[in-house]
Amino acid sequence: MITARWTLSRGYNRQAWKDLLATRARFRRWSVSGAVSLITVGLVIALMSGFEQTGVRVALYSCAFGLAHLVWHYWDRARWLRMMMTAPSADGAVEVSFAPSGLSMRGPTSRGEVSWAGVEAVIRGRRGLIVVLQHGILIYVPFGAFQAAADADAVFRMHAEAGSTEAQLVAAR
């Protein structure tokens, strides 16, 4: 049995946000780069058009859309972090135990057990392991919560031995 223990905190939630964005969000991970690109393109169009009326109009739309997208991204992140930090379980210790039959969770407000058949995917993020129970419901386990560095790989093996396909064991790039 492999056990991971950690405490929920603002740092944990920030780390989870970054890993979830990098591994679970298809297009969202590019939102900041896209917004900055739109602003840059708008400025380049304005300069290249010699600040003529049509060029300036296109540049303003591009910059405005890029700026709105950038504000939306950081506002949504702040809203999500605030929601996570005001939850009843925001300050508690969490323990997840992985066994060949499945996993069990114990937190400040809940307890539960899930067999490996109930786990949709196990994803290795940059800073933690993401256990997807079903679409939208997941557990983020930071690598520092494991007692040994090889424990995350052992969780992959347990999930694979329980009948998951190789495609479900995804590694973040």
* Chain position carrying tokens 């479900």: 168
CA 113 – CA 97 distance, rounded (Å): 9
Instruction: State the Cα–Cα distance between residues 108 and 91, nearest whole angstrom.
Output: 8
Segment 19-58, tens digit of pLDDT: 888 887 777 778 888 899 999 999 888 888 877 777 888 8
Which residue ranges make up each domain of the chain? 2-9+89-171, 13-17+26-85
3-state secondary structure of 92: coil
DSSP string, 16-36: HHHHHHHHT-TTGGGHHHHHH
Instruction: State how far Cα 100 lies from the chain centre.
Output: 26
Segment 63-79 shows an average pLDDT of: 91
Q: Tell me the Ramachandran region of residue 51: left when phi exceeds 0, alpha when psi lies from -120 to 50, beta otherwise.
A: left
Pairing label, strands 121-124, 169-171: parallel
Residue found under tokens 């307890």: 111
Q: Rounded to whole angstroms, how far apart are CA atoms 88 and 133?
A: 21
Contact 66, 38 (CB under 8 A): yes
pLDDT of res. 145: 92
pLDDT in tens, 17-30: 888 888 877 777 78
Is pLDDT of 169 > 70? no
CATH code given to domain 2-9+89-171 = 2.30.29.30
Residue 17, C-beta contacts closer than 8 angstroms, at least 6 positions apart: 77, 80, 81
* DSSP at 167: G
Higher pLDDT, 105 or 92: 105
**Residue 85 near residue 78 (C-beta atoms within 8 A):** no
What's the pLDDT score for residue 25? Answer: 73
User: What is the value of pTM for the model shown?
Assistant: 0.75
Residue-wise pLDDT for 108-151, tens only, equals 888 999 988 888 888 888 889 989 887 778 889 999 999 988 89
